[in-house]
Amino acid sequence: MLKLHHAPNSRAGRIIWLLEELKLPYNLNSMKFHPSDLKSDEHRSRHPLGRIPVLEDDDITIYESGAIVEYILTRHAPGKLKPEVNDDNYPQYLQWFHYCEGMVMPPMNTIVVHTIILPEERRDQTVLGQAQRLLSKALVPVDTTLEEKEYLIGDFSGADIMLGHALYMSKRLNCVTDDLSNISEYISRIEARPSFQKAINT
């Protein structure tokens, strides 16, 4: 059975969301988002940098949330939540799947560091402002593509697992402004999904 190593308020939520959407059985190892758990020798044996998520599948161990999503969809749910290679939607699926970690998460990580993680005396308002502006710019194309779509490529897919989770976190950081109404409505649709609620509350 699949085993997921997870900590709350992290990218590991994506994987719980996906597993719940697919109704795949799994075991969950819940960890504290703290060095006492993540940097332990036991967890470093799973991930050399002591990060999460980590997925174990018998003798296979894989980390990086995007890689885990692709692995699960390809090996455990073929034909689900992902268009076929020759499907007209496949290029857009790839784009939005990878747009998450390429364009949205880097500035969001900086925002988290300079608003939550660092002690106040070490926070840099110039760096924070740059990251906030960069994230705002990165969200505009997403808002545009959602103009007449319920989900990123029309039907719910793995791209929504990746980017949808990032957009939800952007909203929690107060980075989804009122003018991004399509993203706001999209986030509301995501929040209404029972599998998403399970992932966020785990």
The pLDDT of residue 106: 97
**pLDDT tens readout for residues 108-139:** 999 999 998 899 999 999 999 999 999 999 99
Question: What is the 8-class DSSP label of residue 63?
Answer: E
**pLDDT tens readout for residues 147-157:** 989 999 999 99
The phi and psi torsions of 60 (rounded to 5 degrees) equal -100, 135
Domain count for the chain: 2
In terms of domains, do 43 and 67 share one?
yes
Is it true that the peptide bond before 53 is cis, omega within 30 degrees of 0? yes
The pLDDT of residue 202: 86
In terms of domains, do 182 and 153 share one?
yes
The pLDDT of residue 195: 98
**pLDDT tens readout for residues 56-93:** 999 999 999 999 999 999 999 999 999 999 999 999 99
CATH number at residue 35: 3.40.30.10
DSSP β-bridge partners for residue 4 = 28, 55
d(CA 39, CA 151): 37
148 inside domain? yes
In terms of domains, do 59 and 99 share one?
no
Give which of 118, 138, 152 is closest to 180, Cα–Cα: 138
Take residue 21 and report the two structure tokens written for it. 């959407």
In terms of domains, do 131 and 168 share one?
yes
The β-bridge relationship of strands 2-6 and 60-63 is: unpaired
**pLDDT tens readout for residues 193-202:** 999 999 999 8
3-state secondary structure of 153: strand
84 inside domain? no
pLDDT of residue 9 exceeding 90: no
Q: What is the mean pLDDT of the chain?
A: 96
pLDDT of residue 37 exceeding 90: no
Give which of 97, 82, 80, 68 is closest to 2, Cα–Cα: 68
| Residue 33 pLDDT class (50, 70, 90 cuts) | confident
pTM of the model: 0.94
In terms of domains, do 63 and 126 share one?
no
In terms of domains, do 174 and 94 share one?
yes
In terms of domains, do 46 and 94 share one?
no
**pLDDT tens readout for residues 169-195:** 999 999 999 999 999 999 999 999 999
Q: Give whole-number Cα distances, 158 to 26, 30, 119, 125, 154, in Å.
A: 18, 23, 36, 35, 12
Give residue 140's domain range: 90-193
202 inside domain? no
Name residue 52's amino acid.
I
173 inside domain? yes
